[in-house]
Amino acid sequence: MVTSAHRMGVALLGATGSIGTSALRVLERQRDRFAAVALTANGNQQALAQLEDIWSPAYLGLVQEDVEAPAHWGRGPTSLVAAATHPDVQVVINAVVGAAGLDATLAALRAGKRVALANKETLVMAGHLVTKAATQFGGALVPVDSEHSAILQCLAGRRPDEVRRLVLTASGGPFRSWSAERIAEATVADALKHPTWQMGSKITIDSATLANKALEVIEAHHLFGVPYDRIDVVVHPQSIIHSFVEFVDGSVLAQMGVPSMELPILYALTWPERVPDSGVPSYDPVAQGALTFEAVRHDAFPMLQLGIEAGRLGGAAPAVYNAANEAAVARFLDGRLRFAGIARCVASALETLADRPGHTLDELQAADQAARLHVQDHPGE
Ligand code: NAD
Ligand code: MG
């Protein structure tokens, strides 16, 4: 596909996933502004071949190497970097799940591209390296996560010293009102029933444990430079208010809208501009009815506090938290760990590995690997 001069070239990493599919709907409606130049998938060759027919992108990449694929496609984990640094690409939507997205985020930022980041694990694992790359090479890091998009919209260029507090909202997940005893025995099917969002399985489990909110607190810390003691979480089951910013004079701004990832995806592409046709229906306050708020039940959801503490510790601790969580969630989804075992494995990994150094990418990757091994070998009880 030839990218016409006035259209921005987009690389979409994780094009076959939940965010990837929403992003393609956004690109479809914004065809006069954006062109899909590069698309990648992990192992779903058929789905990627269908996208090639529809979009005719210049570059396709399939990460899994043991799957058959057309000879002209890029192959292996390096195909993510090749897509992200393609010369016709100006914006990279990173919608890969997990630490696997890190190299591509760094490579895109170092090539001066805008990264529209859904892949929050990247920022959690290597926050200082990613934020440094975002400022050094003329690129930009713009969040896709709805909470961070909300905060970005509320901040609207205000200075950090005008901000008193960020308040991230959390739906509370499927176990919001369950007892801790019942949560401990929750099945995979129970945990995959998210009340307000349709998402990939890993983030859906993270929403059930509230690990997702811990990842988001760390993400907010790095994106907006706000210390941890000025980032709060409140449960808001309707997912209409996507987050709040409280300013030093006590004024509180919220960003609202019906739950849809298409608006934050579009905003990450066009920020700081707003353009028509996000695909999001109007918010009707009367039809929606009451908006409610609750405190987080930390006793029932230990993963939130564990993650925030890892963030405060810094060094390799957030990378350990993230990798241990990824490994534990995979074990839970495989039926090899009880729901309560996720927090046990992650707490144990942090006890053993949190004080490892985390200055360089090598150190962070070593901590990530050690945490995955730790969880594999953990009894889970
Ligand atoms: P998903 O599982 O639906 O999709 C993941 C995509 O990444 C797929 O295209 C898959 O092929 C690809 N992928 C998976 N493993 C990979 C690997 N090892 N290497 C390369 N590619 C790989 O997940 P999702 O729900 O779309 O989430 C993607 C990211 O966006 C996650 O970081 C998640 O936390 C974040 N996010 C998702 C939502 C949402 O509504 N789904 C909201 C906010 C943030
Ligand atoms: Mg979110």
In sequence order, what DSSP letters do the residues of 322-337 get, joined into one string?
Answer: HHHHHHHHHHHHTTSS
Query: At which of 96, 120, 143 does a domain end?
Result: 143
Indicate whether 196 and 330 sit together in one domain: yes
**pLDDT values of the chain reduced to their tens digit, one per residue, 381 residues:** 444 557 999 999 999 999 999 999 999 999 999 999 999 999 999 999 999 999 999 999 999 999 999 999 999 999 999 999 999 999 999 999 999 999 999 999 999 999 999 999 999 999 999 999 999 999 999 999 999 999 999 999 898 899 999 999 999 999 999 999 999 999 999 999 988 888 999 999 999 999 999 999 999 999 999 999 999 999 999 999 999 999 999 999 999 999 999 999 999 999 999 999 888 899 999 999 999 999 999 999 999 999 999 999 999 999 999 999 999 999 999 999 999 999 999 999 999 999 999 999 999 999 999 999 999 999 988
Range of the domain at 208: 150-257+296-377
Query: Residue 197's pLDDT is what?
Result: 83
Beta-carbon contacts of residue 214 (< 8 Å; ≥ 6 apart): 303, 304, 305, 306, 307, 308, 310, 311, 321
Indicate whether 185 and 81 sit together in one domain: no
Task: Tell me the CATH number at 358.
Answer: 1.10.1740.10
Separation of CA 15 and ligand 1 centre (Å)? 9
Strands 114-117 and 91-94, sheet pairing = parallel
User: Contact, 184 vs 339, CB < 8 A?
Assistant: yes
CA distance 327 to 297: 24
Query: At which of 143, 166, 200 does a domain end?
Result: 143
Separation of CA 17 and ligand 1 centre (Å)? 6
Q: Which residues line ion ligand 2, judged by CB < 5 Å?
A: 145-147
Q: What six digits make up the tokens of 15? A: 């094009």
User: Contact, 115 vs 134, CB < 8 A?
Assistant: yes
Indicate whether 89 and 126 sit together in one domain: yes
Asked whether residue 233 is assigned to any structural domain, the reply reads yes
Asked whether residue 122 is assigned to any structural domain, the reply reads yes
Residue type present at position 78? T
Query: Residue 45's pLDDT is what?
Result: 97
Atom of ligand 1 minimally distant from the CA of 16: 9
**Ligand 1 neighbours (beta carbon < 6 A):** 14-20, 41-42, 44, 63, 80, 95-97, 100, 118-121, 145, 197, 199-200, 203, 261
**CA geometry: angle at 371 spanning 366 and 372, to 5°?**
100
Asked whether residue 132 is assigned to any structural domain, the reply reads yes
Separation of CA 282 and ligand 2 centre (Å)? 20
- Which residue's alpha carbon is nearest to atom 23 within ligand 1? 200
Map tokens 């009451």 to a residue.
290
Asked whether residue 268 is assigned to any structural domain, the reply reads no
Asked whether residue 287 is assigned to any structural domain, the reply reads no
Separation of CA 215 and ligand 2 centre (Å)? 9
- Which residue's alpha carbon is nearest to atom 30 within ligand 1? 118
Indicate whether 251 and 120 sit together in one domain: no
Separation of CA 161 and ligand 1 centre (Å)? 34
Separation of CA 4 and ligand 2 centre (Å)? 33
Q: What six digits make up the tokens of 368? A: 């990530």
Indicate whether 133 and 159 sit together in one domain: no
Indicate whether 242 and 355 sit together in one domain: yes
Radius of gyration of the chain (CA): 20
The three-class DSSP label of residue 57 is: coil
Q: Which H or E run contains 17?
A: none
Query: Residue 279's pLDDT is what?
Result: 84
Asked whether residue 351 is assigned to any structural domain, the reply reads yes
Query: Residue 2's pLDDT is what?
Result: 47
Indicate whether 155 and 137 sit together in one domain: no
Atom of ligand 1 minimally distant from the CA of 19: 26
- Which residue's alpha carbon is nearest to atom 35 within ligand 1? 118
Query: Residue 4's pLDDT is what?
Result: 54
Q: Which H or E run contains 24?
A: helix 18-29
Query: Residue 5's pLDDT is what?
Result: 57
The pair phi, psi for residue 188, each rounded to 5°, is -60, -45
Strands 252-256 and 241-247, sheet pairing = antiparallel
CA distance 379 to 214: 24
Indicate whether 78 and 202 sit together in one domain: no
- Choosing from 18, 130, 219, 322 the residue with most ligand 1 atoms within 8 A of its CB, the one to mutate for a pocket test is 18
- Which residue's alpha carbon is nearest to atom 4 within ligand 1? 17
Indicate whether 154 and 248 sit together in one domain: yes
